[in-house]
Structure 1
Amino acid sequence: EQNYRSTGTILSAANAVIQNNSQRLGKELWTSGDDGDLITLFAAFNEQDEARFVTDRIDELLRQDYRRADIGILYRSNAQSRVLEEALIRTGLPYRIYGGQRFYDRLEIKNALAYLRLIALRDDDTAVERVINTPTRGIGNRTVEILREYARDHQQSLWKSALAMIENGALTARAGNALRGFLSLVEDLAEQTRDMELDSAVDYVVEHSGLIEFHQKEKGEKGQARVENLQELVSAARSFVPEDPDADPLREFLDRAALDAGEQQADEHEDSIQLMTLHSAKGLEFPIVFMVGVEENLFPHKMSMDDPERLEEERRLAYVGITRAEQQLFLSYAESRRLHGQENFNSLSRFIREIPNELINEVRLNNTVTRPSSFASSHIAAQAAADCGIALGQRVLHSIFGAGTVLSFEGQGPSARVQVNFEDEGSKWLVLQYANLQLL
């Protein structure tokens, strides 16, 4: 039970969380070392703000003579790495994805980008080869080899060669029909997305290319992670701002993705920041740990919320994440998060609310302004609201003010208040026990 690595504060937090598991044996970690620093909790405005906080704090830590390899960034969902990777690339901080690949190097993302490249340029041979039979559509290796030979002999692209071979009847009926289906799919994707905004076009392509359905058939968390990554590509498109307003947004987006993919991971032995999922973090320790995205529906994952056994497994993951930190632990959540292609408004994770208030130092808005006492009141108000079934982003109805969206919580006990943005009345603070809000 004795832990020689983590500070007393970190171990106390971990013990407080895991004791909420009913199946937990009576083991409690302890240390003879110092209590150490309080755990930092950062409330970000959105996922970009969260990534900025992480890179800013890392910059401060590196100036305190920590090495980059001393720092681990942990997240629940594989798709969360994208925004963090982009922030690290922008700030020139070398990093590695431990036990995985960078976002734009992931198989499902490369497949989706190949379809998007074909929409922009049919003669992209690399893209054709990548998705001609993904998802599987009956185009075998022999057909592809014949297509390559025809393209070489006629010195033209695979796309033009496919059209010519179909027209000339150079393939068997079965192979010709399968190839015609692929060409028609790409043409249809291009036609349907012609006048769409970039994010809508990307969303349409990942769905109607069949990639979502294809990866949903994979068993376990791998298939789920691939689907979430494809949905995250939609988020990437939604937040993308073209540098040239007159240029084709899709082509600029593809160029940026190629550039980010081209930024090679740090070498295995290079001093670099380590990014990983909480599942990958087991058995590892770092002097400094950032656990990002500690929000309901993300961590614990929404698919585990109604299953007591899976919820306990999520709490064990939280315990693992907390105890990866030896000296300092930073927790962060976003009040608004664009993830998996959707805007989410989630409350602070129940696992973090299980940590005693005196172990937490909350940081909000400006990284230099701390409010040690606000965590207690804000999270108690959030808990009171949660007991009523209300969460951040929840749509509610008031008998006088009409329909609105929950933005924030404040206070504790009978005076706990909830902030609601009403469609017709604007933003109002209401005392929770008198508001009589109906859930929509």
Structure 2
Amino acid sequence: MTLNTEDILKNLNENQTEAVTTEAQHALVLAGAGSGKTRVLVHRIAWLIAAEYVSPYSILAVTFTNKAAAEMRNRIAFMLQREIRDMWIGTFHGIALKLLQINTEAAGLPKNFQILDSDDQYRLIRRCLADLELDEKQWPPRTIQAFINDQKNDGLRAHEVEDFGDHNNQTLIKVFGHYDDHCQRAGLVDFAEMLLRAHELLLNDQAVLQKYRQRFSHILVDEFQDTNAIQSAFIQLLAGAQNKVLVVGDDDQSIYAWRGARVDHILDFQNLYANTALYKLEQNYRSTQTILDAANGVIANNKKRLGKNLWSAQEKGDPVGVYGAHSEFDEAFFVGEKIESLLAETTSADDIAILYRSNAQSRLLEEALLKRSIPYQIYGGLRFFERLEIKDVLAYSRLVNNRHDDIGFERVINTPTRGIGLKTVNLIRNYAQMQQSSLWQAAQTLIQEKKLTQRAATSLAAFINLIDELESNNQDQPLEQLFSDVIERTALKDHYLKEPPEKAQTRLENLDELINAAETFVISEEDAALGLTPLAAFLAQVSLDAGDTSQVNEPHVQLMTLHSAKGLEFPVVFIVGMEQGLFPHQNSMEDFNKLQEERRLAYVGITRAEKQLFMSYATSRRMRGKINACQPSQFLREIPKELIQQIRGNIHPTQYVSSPQTRTPYQSQRQTVPDSPYQIGQTVRHNSFGEGVITDMSGKGDYLQVLVQFNDVGPKVLAVKFAKLEIL
């Protein structure tokens, strides 16, 4: 069956058609969010084959994920009604690996070279550190792994990395060189090496370069704004002076600088490639015009961009709902309550997403959904209390609470490493099984009976003493003090700091949020009557929440970071934590380029919404153990005022002023609880915590909770049913 060229163009708009049928040598397709960029790529390839009679053998199409590559291949095959086996469609790494496998000798590799995944690479780096007699505590393998991969992504070998003359930099270069030498001798190729080695192959072997330049007359690249230095150089080298390059991307959605992506590659494309035609895809098929106008209003404040203006043929749509919360608790209550009302109407949970800047923000949102029995899922990640760093702290705490907790014992006995190896752990495990005792008891007995090596016994005794001291020091201390002491005394924070910076920062933010959770936790009278300590009650509640698997097969509300949301879309989107210092992130406030990227991230978040968009901020938020006054995000103020429906608060004044006496109708409805004598602004007294002021309320009836700012102990969330507050 021969495909009619008119069929290829039939469902394309004017701008898409121009991009698909371009005769320019090079083309930059600036594709806005939801504008059909994948369709342009697929139809362009079909056009080349069916209308211009280009052989599939001569086409190279590069994407960023295997899923996208498979989708592209299937759609092209469906359009052409035939297989296209000769065409190279794949990720940068997939294409590079194919080149190396075909040209092993020219690439300086053995035919049976081995691919190293991330874990393999990590283990090899540890071996290199041992070879060089470098202490892993001073030279964390994860940090060195990130350094090596960053250099390779920038196209650099060890001898090409700039030596700044300081010992730290020189040591990193030394380990990099030793690692590279080992890989070369053993025929090992890590993921960053694939593309670097493929680039070097083309750069250093003219015969191979000419072979592939002659073959690939048309090169197409998706998501070009996300390319790093070596990826861009690879495409430029392969294209040469004759081949045609068409790239699709959106400079306004470049949000991965921390991975090495460089937005300048798409901004400077027309300068790098002569005779480039620019096509802008501005018609959005996803969102209402109101949502697009909000996104346009925000991104227009970026200085470094090619410029485009999204529009939609759909209806204008609902205004953007903006909620100014008193606190993060109030914000979570608003989101939970609003989702509950949406589900009660016609909205499916699968149609709703909650987006946030930091992973740590998920905890209160999870609580709000759990209280309402609303199914949810953390997209691409773990629930708060399932995260590694949280489970580590809780495992130590479980041992403080109950020495016979074998699972907690095994998890942290050598985390962080303290010289207790697998051989010692197996000995403890076997002895406990033989004696029908707990691991804790077995460890104590083995020490007393001197059945361990001196080193193992010393390390194990230190661990046992640590747990005993944690309990002794915190018998009369608040729960948050125990968690703080666990983090401090066990050196967990230093342990996580050995990981790549982005991951380490996320872990530390989650630890701060765990302390926040402990600080606002109040044991119920029922639990206290049962004789439970606050720690035991807290751990029991965590276990109950984690064990709730009844929602697995139901429609889910999706919770995710803004970075994870790229490429996804939902009818209803909530973006929370829209505050200066949180979003835009504090780390970007003084850096022009980072602030530009934060704004692009806001643009990505806004354009995930199809029909309804809600954004929220808190005027106070607990961060790192302190309650901070917060200002609404500048990104909120960049949305045109006429597009916003203020549910509560006012984002447009330079300084936000909160007053309990001046509330919108919605706020009054939210805060007036039937049959309750409590209201925001009241002074109350608690038997244990003393006097304080109610700053927020949520729930109703037996589930009514108040947030009280106590004079002596700070904020506490209390269940009114059990708290027995006295109104002063």
Q: TM-score range by the shorter chain?
A: 0.7 to 0.9
User: Residue 632 of structure 2 contacts residue 651 of structure 2 at CA under 8 Å; is this kept in 1?
Assistant: no
1:271 match: secondary structure: coil
Structure 2 residue aligned with 1:380: 654
User: Residue 360 of structure 1 contacts residue 375 of structure 1 at CA under 8 Å; is this kept in 2?
Assistant: no
User: Residue 229 of structure 1 contacts residue 340 of structure 1 at CA under 8 Å; is this kept in 2?
Assistant: no
Q: Any residues of structure 2 matched to 1:410-429 within 5 Å, and which?
A: none
Q: Which amino acid aligns with 1:380?
A: T
Q: Which amino acid aligns with 1:263?
A: D
Structure 2 residue aligned with 1:169: 450
Matched, 1:92 2:393: no
Matched, 1:273 2:547: no
User: Residues 265, 319 of structure 1: CA spacing in aligned structure 2 closer, same or farther, 3 A cutoff?
Assistant: farther
Question: Cα deviations across residues 188-213 of structure 1 (Å, max 9, x unaligned)?
Answer: 21122122111222222222221122
Matched, 1:346 2:630: yes
* The one of 306, 320, 324 aligned to 1:43: 324
Matched, 1:356 2:640: yes
> In structure 1, what is the Cα distance between the partners aligned to 2:591 and 2:419?
39
> In structure 1, what is the Cα distance between the partners aligned to 2:340 and 2:478?
36
Shift of 1:270: 2.9
> In structure 1, what is the Cα distance between the partners aligned to 2:305 and 2:373?
43
* The one of 333, 337, 341 aligned to 1:60: 341
Q: Which amino acid aligns with 1:196?
A: Q
1:333 match: secondary structure: strand
Matched, 1:312 2:596: yes
> In structure 2, what is the Cα distance between the partners aligned to 1:35 and 1:211?
51
Q: Which amino acid aligns with 1:144?
A: V
Structure 1 residue aligned with 2:432: 151
Question: Cα deviations across residues 297-324 of structure 1 (Å, max 9, x unaligned)?
Answer: 1111112212222211111111110000
Q: Any residues of structure 2 matched to 1:190-209 within 5 Å, and which?
A: 190-209=471-490
Structure 2 residue aligned with 1:432: none
> In structure 1, what is the Cα distance between the partners aligned to 2:312 and 2:460?
65
* The one of 570, 592, 600 aligned to 1:286: 570
Structure 1 residue aligned with 2:503: 222
> In structure 1, what is the Cα distance between the partners aligned to 2:627 and 2:332?
17
> In structure 2, what is the Cα distance between the partners aligned to 1:200 and 1:329?
39
Q: Which amino acid aligns with 2:654?
A: I
1:13 match: secondary structure: helix
User: Residues 312, 266 of structure 1: CA spacing in aligned structure 2 closer, same or farther, 3 A cutoff?
Assistant: farther
Structure 1 residue aligned with 2:546: 261
Q: Which amino acid aligns with 2:515?
A: V
> In structure 1, what is the Cα distance between the partners aligned to 2:284 and 2:538?
48
Shift of 1:340: 4.3
User: TM-score, normalised to structure 1's length?
Assistant: 0.82
2:654 match: secondary structure: helix
User: Residue 361 of structure 1 contacts residue 375 of structure 1 at CA under 8 Å; is this kept in 2?
Assistant: no
User: Residues 314, 33 of structure 1: CA spacing in aligned structure 2 closer, same or farther, 3 A cutoff?
Assistant: same
User: Residue 327 of structure 2 contacts residue 618 of structure 2 at CA under 8 Å; is this kept in 1?
Assistant: yes
Matched, 1:337 2:618: no
2:403 match: secondary structure: coil
Q: Return 5+ residue gaps in structure 2 as ranges.
A: 1-281, 658-694, 696-710, 712-728
User: Residue 292 of structure 1 contacts residue 333 of structure 1 at CA under 8 Å; is this kept in 2?
Assistant: yes
Structure 2 residue aligned with 1:27: 308
> In structure 2, what is the Cα distance between the partners aligned to 1:19 and 1:28?
9
User: Residues 72, 353 of structure 1: CA spacing in aligned structure 2 closer, same or farther, 3 A cutoff?
Assistant: same
User: TM-score, normalised to structure 2's length?
Assistant: 0.50
Q: Which amino acid aligns with 1:156?
A: S
How many equivalent residue pairs?
Answer: 374
> In structure 2, what is the Cα distance between the partners aligned to 1:341 and 1:178?
32
Q: Any residues of structure 2 matched to 1:118-129 within 5 Å, and which?
A: 118-129=399-410
* The one of 419, 426, 432 aligned to 1:138: 419
Q: Which amino acid aligns with 1:6?
A: S
Alignment RMSD (CA, Å): 1.9
Shift of 1:264: 2.6
Shift of 1:64: 2.5
User: Residue 95 of structure 1 contacts residue 265 of structure 1 at CA under 8 Å; is this kept in 2?
Assistant: no
Shift of 1:381: 4.0
Shift of 1:266: 3.7
Q: Return 5+ residue gaps in structure 1 as ranges.
A: 366-373, 384-406, 408-422, 424-440
Q: Which amino acid aligns with 1:255?
A: A
> In structure 2, what is the Cα distance between the partners aligned to 1:176 and 1:17?
61
> In structure 1, what is the Cα distance between the partners aligned to 2:405 and 2:418?
20
User: Residue 416 of structure 2 contacts residue 492 of structure 2 at CA under 8 Å; is this kept in 1?
Assistant: yes
> In structure 2, what is the Cα distance between the partners aligned to 1:381 and 1:319?
24
> In structure 2, what is the Cα distance between the partners aligned to 1:264 and 1:231?
27
User: Residue 17 of structure 1 contacts residue 355 of structure 1 at CA under 8 Å; is this kept in 2?
Assistant: yes
Greater displacement, 350-359 / 212-221: 212-221
Question: Cα deviations across residues 212-269 of structure 1 (Å, max 9, x unaligned)?
Answer: 22112211321111111111111111111111345311111111111111123843x6
Structure 1 residue aligned with 2:469: 188
User: Residue 584 of structure 2 contacts residue 595 of structure 2 at CA under 8 Å; is this kept in 1?
Assistant: yes
> In structure 2, what is the Cα distance between the partners aligned to 1:130 and 1:375?
47
Question: Cα deviations across residues 37-67 of structure 1 (Å, max 9, x unaligned)?
Answer: 1101000111111111111111221233111
1:297 match: secondary structure: coil
Matched, 1:109 2:394: no
Q: Which amino acid aligns with 1:158?
A: L
Q: Percent identity?
A: 52
Structure 2 residue aligned with 1:13: 294
Structure 2 residue aligned with 1:400: none
Shift of 1:2: 1.2
Shift of 1:349: 0.5
> In structure 2, what is the Cα distance between the partners aligned to 1:381 and 1:154?
67
Structure ranking higher on relative contact order (CA contacts 8 Å, 6+ apart): 1
Q: Which amino acid aligns with 1:82?
A: R
